[in-house]
Chains A and B, each alone.
Chain A
Amino acid sequence: DAGITQSPRHKVTETGTPVTLRCHQTENHRYMYWYRQDPGHGLRLIHYSYGVKDTDKGEVSDGYSVSRSKTEDFLLTLESATSSQTSVYFCAISDRRSSTDTQYFGPGTRLTVL
């Protein structure tokens, strides 16, 4: 199994509060991703990173920001959480070499915004 951890695994917060989710990897992979999973939508990409301090937006980036100051850590921040951001958040990693050009996922974080 890929060495990916996410913290916290569960969080309940109130509308308007800031929230930061952390993804940590031990694989030294260059690429990291944040997805959200919602019923009827599958998984949708929020942001991704292709190196330290290098990030780009995904399909559903509004209301989210990310940071990557170290190879192993990729943070997802909700500056002011809203109920529409209640979801399960998954982090993924990839090293993008042709033989292993596959995204491997962390265990997920269930976020509830009241």
Chain B
Amino acid sequence: AQKVTQAQTEISVVEKEDVTLDCVYETRDTTYYLFWYKQPPSGELVFLIRRNSFDEQNEISGRYSWNFQKSTSSFNFTITASQVVDSAVYFCALSEIGNTDKLIFGTGTRLQVFP
């Protein structure tokens, strides 16, 4: 069975601190996608990134970076120099490639960035 675990329920940091959100997944599939979504206080869900299991290269987008490690079944998300606007709930999700109807979400990590 597929499962996504986000063990950090809530994280609080002060602006400009770096913060890493952990995501650990379980799957028997050999090909799969991993996703991160952001849910700001306004409530909408915003797509951030999709990575496939073939590509373990880390990805950087501005202050955001993602570390994918198949050996530890983890897909961690780091925000560098956090800002108040980064305050949100962040969800990690998993699906099998070719069967992306079954999108399995973690329970989310609430990040609060204080000025």
Contacts and interface: CB of A to CB of B under 8 A. Distances in A.
Interface of A: 31, 33, 40-45, 48, 50, 56, 88, 90, 94, 96, 101-108
A60 to B, nearest CB: 12
26 contacts: A31-B101, A33-B103, A40-B107, A42-B4, A42-B91, A42-B106, A42-B107, A42-B108, A43-B91, A45-B101, A45-B103, A50-B101, A56-B101, A88-B43, A96-B100, A102-B100, A103-B103, A104-B47, A105-B37, A105-B45, A105-B46, A105-B47, A106-B44, A107-B44, A108-B43, A108-B45
A39 B4 CA distance: 15
A13 B8 CA distance: 34
Given A103-B103, A108-B45, 9 more contacts: A33-B101, A33-B103, A42-B106, A42-B108, A45-B101, A48-B101, A90-B45, A101-B97, A106-B44
Interface of B: 4, 33, 35, 37, 43-47, 50, 91, 97, 100-103, 105-108
Given A31-B101, A101-B33, A107 B43 contact: yes
A102 B50 contact: yes
B104 to A, nearest CB: 8
Nearest first, the 10 A-B pairs at minimum CB distance are A42-B105, A105-B45, A43-B105, A42-B107, A107-B44, A101-B100, A102-B50, A108-B43, A48-B101, A42-B106
A63 B102 CA distance: 20
